[in-house]
Amino acid sequence: MTSPSGTLVFSSAFDAFEVWRDALHAHLPGMAIVDAGATGATGEITDPAAIHYALAWKPPEGFFDKMVNLRLIINLGAGVDSLVGRRDLPAGVPITRITDPQMARMMAGYVLFATLRHAREIPHFEQAQRRGQWAYRHPRSPETIRVAVLGLGELGALAASEVQRQGFTVMGWSRSPRQIDGVQCFAGIETLDTVLEQADILVVMLPLTTDTRGLLDRARLSRLPKGAALINVARGALVDQAAMTDLLRDGHIGSATLDVFAQEPLPAGDPLWAMENVLITPHLASVAIPSSSAKQIADNILRVSRREAPANQVDPSRGY
């Protein structure tokens, strides 16, 4: 495979430059790839005009300013909310994101773990164990437990299928109508309350956009059946965190597995840290995997170098 002309700039505080560079070189040997570092210190880059491609996760404001020949921005992850709303995006440069099957598998694994944890009442047994109690509770059969997955995209659709394969009764919700084997699919805001009212376990897998920010407010969370479990692996700002905390405290929401928060890291002293019915993980439900994502990134770079439209393009007007 020949490598296109132009340099690729990399920026991420979470991902190792050398690993991504080597993974990309496996598909684009000889391509010039430079590291702007965790801080996106483009001052280190001697010739910003040579940069045609940017592979970045949350680059700092002004990152793209001097890249006058930029042809493609590749978001180093699935969620593009931190990118699409920025004022410093160069006009007319397409944005793509990673939609890697391995990333979807990792996410589905987390959702399955969290769903089973709630369905099998593992928090109850963990707490009983700490008290030294043999606290038998007869297991419920999975088909009696209704799981609702909000967001049926690259990640949500696979997660819904995996949960369905375990025998749960699964509902899905998206903006436009979707069809997933064994999953009862709903679409549009007018159907959301119906979905929430039936969700013994609610899985949030929506992108954060102007339409979805704060979507799960106090009124909507209150529609969940009493004792429902909440799993948020998408973005904290989709949920009214103060209302969620109140509802967890009074037991209306029975338990939660939370990977994302309104503010990350979750501030020390936040009441969620100390709640026995909450499991907190530090935003790692799924990550972009270099070995499996590099080919789609390379394919897109080659497409753009041939003046073709890239795949997996984000629609900034839609926000995802």
Active site residues: 235, 283
Q: Between 183 and 234, whose beta carbon lies closer to ligand NDP?
A: 234
> C-beta of 304: minimal distance to ligand NDP in Å?
21
Q: 28 with 7: CB under 8 angstroms?
A: no
> C-beta of 46: minimal distance to ligand NDP in Å?
34
Burial of 141 (0-12, 13-18, 19+ CB in 10 A): exposed
Binding test (CB under 6 A) with ligand NDP, winner from 78, 147, 201, 297: 78
Report the chain's terminal Cα–Cα distance, integer Å.
31
Q: At what angle do helices 122-130 and 101-119 cross, to 10 degrees?
A: 60
Q: Is there binding between residue 179 and ligand NDP (CB under 6 A)?
A: no
Q: Between 121 and 259, whose beta carbon lies closer to ligand NDP?
A: 259
Angle at 198 between CA 196 and CA 200, to 5 degrees: 95
Q: What is the rounded CA–CA span in Å between residue 177 and residue 188?
A: 8
- Amino acid, res. 135: A
Binding test (CB under 6 A) with ligand NDP, winner from 161, 164, 174, 241: 174
Q: Where would I find the beta strands (DSSP E) of the chain?
A: 7-11, 33-35, 51-56, 72-75, 95-97, 146-150, 169-174, 183-187, 201-204, 228-232, 253-258, 278-280
Put residue 217 in one of left, alpha, beta given phi > 0 → left and psi -120 to 50 → alpha: beta
Q: Is there binding between residue 176 and ligand NDP (CB under 6 A)?
A: yes
Looking only at residues 209 through 268 of this chain, which bind ligand NDP when binding is defined by CB under 6 A?
A: 209, 211-212, 233-235, 259-260
Q: Between 148 and 152, whose beta carbon lies closer to ligand NDP?
A: 152
Q: Between 31 and 244, whose beta carbon lies closer to ligand NDP?
A: 244
Instruction: With CA atoms as reference, report the closest residue to 192 among 210, 206, 208.
Output: 206
Q: 13 with 57: CB under 8 angstroms?
A: yes
Q: Pattern of binders to ligand NDP over 92-131, x per CB under 6 A?
A: -------x--------------------------------
Q: What is the rounded CA–CA span in Å between residue 231 and residue 233?
A: 6
Q: Is there binding between residue 185 and ligand NDP (CB under 6 A)?
A: no
Q: Is there binding between residue 315 and ligand NDP (CB under 6 A)?
A: no
Length of the chain: 320
Q: Is there binding between residue 317 and ligand NDP (CB under 6 A)?
A: no
Residue of this chain nearest to ligand NDP (CB atom) = 153
Q: Is there binding between residue 162 and ligand NDP (CB under 6 A)?
A: no
- As a dihedral over the C-alpha atoms of residue 119, residue 114, residue 173, residue 178, rounded to 10 degrees, the angle is -100
Q: Between 38 and 237, whose beta carbon lies closer to ligand NDP?
A: 237
The piece of 11-19, 26-34, 49-57, 71-79 that touches ligand NDP (CB under 6 A) is: 71-79
Q: Is there binding between residue 294 and ligand NDP (CB under 6 A)?
A: no
- Residue count, binding to ligand NDP (CB under 6 A): 31
Interface ranges with ligand NDP (CB under 6 A): 77-79, 99, 151-156, 174-176, 178, 205-209, 211-212, 233-235, 259-260, 283-286, 320
